[in-house]
Structure 1
Amino acid sequence: MKNSVSPIKTCFYWVLSFFMLASFNVQAKEQAKIALIIDDMGIQKDLSLSALQLPGAVTYSFLPFTAHTQALANVAHQKGKELMLHVPMQAIEPKEREIHELSSNMSSRAFERLFINQLQNIPYIAGINNHKGSLLTQNYSAMTHIMQLIKVQYGTALFFVDSKTATASVAQKAATDFGLAALGRDIFLDHDDPSQIEIRRQFRKLIALALRNGSALGIAHPRINTLAVLQDELHKIAAYNVQLVPVSELAFTARKIMPTIKHTKASPLIKLKAEPAQPELGEYDIF
């Protein structure tokens, strides 16, 4: 007489298999994620090329109109890296002024022309973040002007990252108000070009934040100490039980759970207003 499996046992095995697979899927979904932006790409050719050798899904943000930007952006794209536009914006300190920066002192039309030229200068961009901008990012009128131009040119295809160079920045709010995917920077790894010990400490803070909150976004720069630390840390990222992902993955995931205002049409261009008379100083306001 042949052995046969009873219907009860068959049902039990199916139920057990289901819960094992469900448990596996939950564990996979719960793995913490970090994203890492390397800012200021294109200024120094050799350091930018070295930065492009970092392993994994590092995202690179390029300054417009530099001598090396377009060639390096093409190299990054060929390597399958995610690219961003690093937009120079007006800082609180006048000595921090940048060439080709967006400023509240500009006319609305000049502001628009410069920003569109910046967008067109970097190929393959998936998103945008501010370079400096501790003053301009506190100006909601200016920020909504930027988000509107992004929406007109790209719809909702691009994401925006607020580098948070000012505590009172409203850039992320302006982006979400216009229905764009948006994030704010969590950790600067190498503000003021610190030692490798400090950079490593900041990287570990990024990991800890991701493990606590599910995800975290860091910003670093193509500097010798920074690249040395990241080459080491990113090669052992799996040991921290976190996943390195492109910034877009965090940004578009965040948009699904954040309230947005839907804009079906492009509204008329917003007139820029003067910056705050007494801008609030923040953590990184030299920017």
Structure 2
Amino acid sequence: MNENVQFDVIIIGGSYAGLSTALGLGRALRKVLVIDSGKPCNRMTPHSHNFLTRDGVLPSEINRLGRKDLEIYETVSFYNGFASQGSRTKKGFKITTKSGKFFNSKKLVFATGIKDIMPDIKGFKESWGISIIHCPYCHGYEVRNKTTGVLGNNEYGFEFSKVISNWTKDLTLYTNGTFELTQEQTKQLSLHKISIVDKEIVHFKENKGYIDHLLFKDGTTKKIDALYARTPFVQNSDIPKTLGCEINKMGYITIDNFQKTTVPGVYACGDNVSLMRSVSNAVAMGTTTAGMLNKELIDQEWI
């Protein structure tokens, strides 16, 4: 690929938000480059749900179909690699990849997602996205009425347990060695027959990602089919912060209602800006980003 080409937009991240943005901009006759390292955060998940016409489809298959849709648009190009650096130029931005390639554009879109930080408990990483899940709207139907746990504590653990109780009545809150619930929260959980276990978990016993039981530090075990958890995370790319994009207190890139970051000319969409981690939400944000960004380019061309 010719490094001297000036693209209208470089999109970093070629998963659902990035592909959706590329589709909208490609159809708007914008010269677009999508840079993607091929490692989406849901790559271990066996099925994706709650996305109309693609319910239950492999995430990788949705991605493949998305790329196929883009093949007819000569305005959209792809580069397989990791974007490692970004800087401003007189005409916009320069992105350098890990392999040393560089590309220039007027505008940037970050659809880079986030990186989950797994707890140091054996079996957690192997089960993440399979039987240890983050979203009942994405996966709750498949584990409905099963023996289910919530890994959490304090206000978060209490509120998350309330939500999950909609999908199963066989529910336990695991606080993993500490207990930070109020007396009223404990009472409410008990009234709704949600038990609380505050023992420290040392091993999620699993087979190919499917949990069979929990092993506690005291040697006891508990049979379980699924566990809900929300892990800490970091941004998957350091470039937004390097360019000066504001990161909010929750760890997401700050955007306005038009998907604009706090840096002029830089947009962001997908899991890196939103608590709602789902394919449908990422696609919707990508569509919005494309429309808003194209309007900005048109306005600037009319000055």
Higher helix share: 1
Shorter chain as denominator, the TM-score bin is: under 0.3
> TM-score under structure 1 normalisation?
0.27
TM-score by length of 2: 0.26
Of structures 1 and 2, the one scoring higher in RCO (CA 8 A, sep 6+) is: 1
Q: Which has the higher strand share?
A: 2
